[in-house]
């Protein structure tokens, strides 16, 4: 649930929807070098 989605959540509740809160995800890093390469590629992709 995000505060910025308050309107959407209220709309869905009006049709019988429920709010579900799930734990946040995280990255499990096996090889730090490849993870750094991945982060760099992700950063470059977002700048283009």
Model confidence band, residue 8 (pLDDT cutoffs 50, 70, 90): confident
Q: Which helix (H) or strand (E) holds 35?
A: helix 32-47
Tell me how far apart the terminal alpha carbons of the chain are, to the nearest angstrom: 30
Q: In which domain, by residue range, is 41 found? A: 3-47
Take residue 9 and report the two structure tokens written for it: 């959540």
> In this structure, is the dihedral angle defined by the CA atoms of residues 42, 43, 47 and 48, taken in order, positive or negative?
negative
- At 24 the three-state DSSP class reads coil
Say what the pTM is.
Answer: 0.47
Model confidence band, residue 1 (pLDDT cutoffs 50, 70, 90): low
How many domains does the chain fold into? 1
7-13 average pLDDT score: 86
The 10s digit of each residue's pLDDT in 14-46 is 999 887 888 989 889 999 999 999 999 999 998
């Amino acid at each position: 649930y995000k505060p910025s989605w308050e309107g959407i959540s209220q709309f869905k509740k009006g049709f019988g929807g429920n709010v579900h809160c799930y734990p946040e995800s995280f990255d499990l890093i096996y090889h730090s070098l490849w993870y750094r390469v991945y982060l760099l590629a992700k950063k470059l992709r977002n700048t283009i």
